[in-house]
């Protein structure tokens, strides 16, 4: 096996950040400097290689995560460029689930912005080690130290400064490397392709020494070997520092911090070095765990080609009408033409093609092994979150959690022919995007699509028209509500009827009580088989779940309720599944209508960045929208306001905020929970 394909020389990383921090520009520069692209694509020109969808190019944002591969210093680096907009946070979640490391990009002017905080915590949830790149150091108002302090305040890992910015005549020119104790200056004429390492200017030596001392002190607190040498006053070699930082990064204790400006082609090569030096290979990551569907026991798979196959499907995409499934192979090998087993669905699948992805371009492979992230053609039944494995050694890996949609919109086809196209297109889009849900409303003859926000639904409808050529009328976005109850009740229902020539009997007693917000619908069986035989319990539960889909107040799904099956009766020869299902469904509906039912609306966390002089107007506007200010942070002349607002009050908010602040404020939102209307 060639040295560069060895697992230890593989890096699977994601680039994560707040919208507009410069993630895609960083990725474009990485591809240029590693020789994967011969032209730099710019986001603002709509030419970025990684933003290949028309909707991304027009808006200058990343919507779908793009996968690419490049080589740096004999290491294979698989990169996923993830979206920064909150409506597409699920894309980030499912990518972090399969990545080993992450490069977090921060804007030196904005600092730690709301969405960068969200994605950072998502990475922590999946125990993903990180390195940080403070971008846009050339911008007016850029502040490296303030950004690092914000990281210290908001994150549990220690930001470890391994570079400090170098300015000449107030212009950002390069960076001082604290590990190698050298100044790095990039060549502007060659688009930053070459750079030179020179001695640190004398006037900056005291500052560089102060930061280097802090760097050594920080790793000495974590690494006993470094501590010993440091206390004895011995020299600590560059190799020892790198090894120590790597260990501390992999254990999520520190995050190495670098700086630069991707747009001005400065700072990218040291980031590539840091990816190789500090982020994990598949061998450094703990073995993946899953459940054997036959024995129901937990099993582990070590990252090795010799282990049985275990791979997770983390994304499905349609490409020219063909379905492409993105897989992360944790163990074993996949070959073209062979059969694999989808353990999540109990179905065999055939591998028609294996593709190594370069954004939307691809290269064919005959086989792929552990640690690979690649695309597969031929998996007909595999959806996001499914496990593909060896049938002789089945395993189901932990699936991917999906968020609930919070906003819906009515769409209707213009002709019966368009209706057929619409149904087919929506099925394909739902396969691609698990946060999109679709239902047909018989009363209005409209199709209702639900998603994560206004932009999400806008992109979906745009794709229906452009990609799938469906002619549709589009309604205004509407809020998706939920229903719950506010008091406990006991309810009893008997169903006894002759249908055809068969008698159907079902008798159920339920106790309904309200749950804490966010706890969902819980079902508890408190009977034994002498009252209702065990085989009818799943049917009773199914009846309750079906009834909960349409609540009694306005037909929205009921949630945050515990329904206990407390009793009932059984008649030999007459009790049927249909009888119990109808009895439990009717009992649940009746119970809800007697238990003080109420509507719940989606409440959002809103982060607003505004110049301080407009703060009073912004807060006044929040209060007028039934909002509640939670926190105000001052960052120089900018104030960050964190508030809770009902989603319904956020329609058109961006226009109102812009006009109130002369276009100088921006905001981002995130779903918090469903709660009672105030």
Neighbours of 481 (CB within 10 A): 21
**pLDDT for the residue numbered 422:** 86
Predicted confidence (pLDDT) per residue in 151-168, tens digit: 888 887 899 999 999 988
Inter-helix orientation angle 114-125/89-96, to 10°: 30
The count of other CB atoms within 10 Å of the CB of residue 276 is 16
Q: Of the ranges 61-70, 312-321, 613-622, 652-661, which one carries the lowest mean pLDDT score?
A: 61-70
Does the structure show a pLDDT above 60 at 42? no
Q: 412: phi > 0 → left, psi -120 to 50 → alpha, else beta; which?
A: beta
More confidently predicted of 111 and 509: 509
What's the chain's length in residues?
Answer: 678
Pairing of strands 502-514, 489-499: antiparallel
Q: What is the mean pLDDT of residues 171-185?
A: 91
DSSP-based three-state secondary structure for 410: strand
State yes or no: pLDDT of 85 exceeds 70: no
- Paired tokens of 430: 């739902």
Query: Can you tell me the mean pLDDT for 345-358?
Result: 85
Mean pLDDT taken over the chain: 83
Confirm if 676 and 600 have CB atoms less than 8 A apart: yes
Considering the chain, what percentage of its residues have pLDDT values greater than 70? 88
**What are the DSSP calls for 281-314, one per residue?**
PGGGSPPEEEE-TTT--EEEE-S-TTSPPEEEEE
Q: How many CA atoms lie within 13 A of 584 on its CB side?
A: 28
Q: What is the pLDDT of residues 512-521, one digit of tens each?
A: 999 998 888 9
In the predicted model, is pLDDT for residue 655 greater than 90? no
**pLDDT (average), residues 543-572:** 92
Listed in order, strand segments (DSSP E) in 233-287 are 254-259
Q: What is the pLDDT of residue 586?
A: 95
* Cα 631 from Cα 597, distance rounded (Å): 32
Phi-psi region of 545 (alpha: psi -120 to 50; beta: other; left: phi over 0): alpha
165-179, 611-625, 643-657: lowest mean pLDDT where? 643-657
**Does the pLDDT of residue 261 top 50, yes or no?**
yes
Q: Which residues are CB-contacts of 579 (< 8 A; sequence separation ≥ 6)? A: 495, 496, 497, 504, 505, 506
Give the pLDDT band of residue 3 (cuts 50, 70, 90). very low
Name the token pair of 274. Answer: 């840091």
**Does residue 114 surpass a pLDDT of 80?**
no
**Residue 411: what pLDDT?**
86
pLDDT attached to residue 62: 36
Q: How far apart are CA 616 and CA 224, in angstroms?
A: 52
Contact 130, 106 (CB under 8 A): no
Q: Is the pLDDT of residue 65 over 60?
A: no
Query: How far from 4 is each of 7, 71, 657, CA to CA, in Å?
Result: 8, 9, 52
């Amino acid at each position: 096996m060639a040295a560069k394909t060895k697992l230890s020389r593989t890096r699977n990383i994601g680039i994560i950040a707040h919208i507009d921090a410069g993630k895609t520009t960083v990725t474009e520069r990485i591809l240029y400097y590693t020789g994967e692209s011969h032209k730099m694509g710019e986001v603002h020109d709509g030419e970025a290689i990684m933003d290949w969808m028309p909707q991304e190019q027009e808006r200058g944002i990343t919507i779908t995560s793009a996968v690419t591969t490049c080589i740096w210093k004999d290491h294979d680096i698989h990169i996923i460029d993830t979206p920064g907009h909150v409506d597409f946070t699920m894309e980030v979640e499912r990518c972090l689930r399969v990545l080993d490391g992450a490069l977090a990009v921060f804007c030196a002017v904005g600092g730690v912005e709301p969405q960068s905080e969200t994605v950072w915590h998502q990475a922590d949830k999946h125990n993903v080690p990180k390195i940080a790149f403070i971008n846009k150091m050339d911008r007016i108002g850029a502040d490296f130290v303030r950004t690092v302090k914000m990281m210290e305040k908001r994150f549990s890992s220690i930001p470890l400064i391994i570079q400090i910015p170098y300015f000449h005549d107030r212009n950002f020119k390069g960076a001082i490397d604290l590990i190698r104790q050298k100044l790095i200056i990039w060549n502007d004429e060659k688009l930053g392709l070459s750079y030179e390492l020179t001695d640190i200017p004398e006037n900056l030596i005291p500052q560089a020494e102060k930061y280097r001392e802090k760097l050594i002190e920080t790793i000495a607190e974590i690494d006993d070997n470094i501590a010993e040498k440091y206390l004895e006053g011995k020299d600590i070699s560059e190799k020892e520092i790198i090894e120590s930082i790597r260990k501390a990064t992999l254990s999520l204790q520190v995050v190495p911090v670098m700086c630069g400006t991707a747009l001005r082609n400065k700072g990218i090569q040291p980031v590539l070095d840091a990816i190789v030096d500090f982020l994990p290979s598949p061998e450094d990551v703990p073995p993946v765990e899953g459940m054997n569907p036959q024995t129901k026991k937990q099993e582990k798979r070590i990252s090795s080609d010799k282990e049985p196959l275990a791979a997770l499907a983390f994304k499905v995409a349609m490409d020219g009408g063909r379905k492409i499934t993105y897989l992360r192979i944790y163990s074993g090998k996949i070959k073209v033409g062979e059969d694999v087993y989808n353990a999540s669905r109990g179905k065999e699948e055939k591998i028609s093609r294996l593709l190594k992805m370069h954004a939307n371009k691809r290269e064919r492979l005959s086989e792929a092994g552990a640690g690979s992230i690649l695309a597969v053609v031929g998996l007909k039944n595999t959806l996001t979150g499914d496990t593909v494995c060896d049938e002789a050694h089945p395993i189901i890996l932990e699936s991917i959690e999906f968020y609930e949609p919070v906003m819906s919109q009515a769409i209707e086809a213009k002709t019966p022919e368009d209706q057929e196209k619409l149904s087919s297109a929506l099925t394909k889009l739902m396969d691609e995007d698990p946060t999109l849900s679709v239902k047909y409303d018989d009363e209005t003859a409209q199709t209702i699509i639900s998603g994560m926000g206004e932009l999400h639904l806008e992109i979906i409808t745009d794709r229906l028209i452009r990609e799938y050529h469906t002619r549709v009328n589009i309604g205004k976005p509407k809020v998706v509500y939920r229903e719950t109850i506010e008091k406990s009740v006991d309810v009893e229902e008997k169903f006894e009827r002759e249908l055809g020539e068969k008698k159907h009997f079902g008798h159920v007693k339920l106790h309904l009580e309200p749950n804490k917000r966010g706890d969902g619908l819980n079902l508890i069986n408190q009977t034994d088989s002498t009252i209702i035989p065990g085989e009818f319990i799943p049917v009773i539960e199914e009846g309750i779940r079906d009834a909960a889909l349409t609540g009694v107040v306005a037909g929205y799904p009921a949630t945050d309720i515990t329904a206990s099956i407390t009793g009932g009766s059984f008649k030999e020869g007459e009790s049927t599944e249909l009888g119990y299902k109808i009895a439990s469904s009717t009992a649940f509906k009746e119970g809800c209508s007697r238990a003080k039912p109420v509507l719940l609306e989606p409440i959002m966390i809103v982060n607003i960045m505004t110049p301080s002089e407009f703060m009073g107007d912004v807060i006044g506007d929040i209060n007028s929208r039934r909002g509640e200010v939670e926190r105000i942070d001052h960052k120089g002349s900018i104030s960050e306001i964190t508030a809770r607002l009902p989603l319904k009050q956020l329609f058109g908010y961006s226009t109102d905020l812009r006009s109130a602040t002369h276009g100088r404020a921006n905001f981002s939102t995130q779903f918090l929970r469903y709660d009672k209307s105030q």
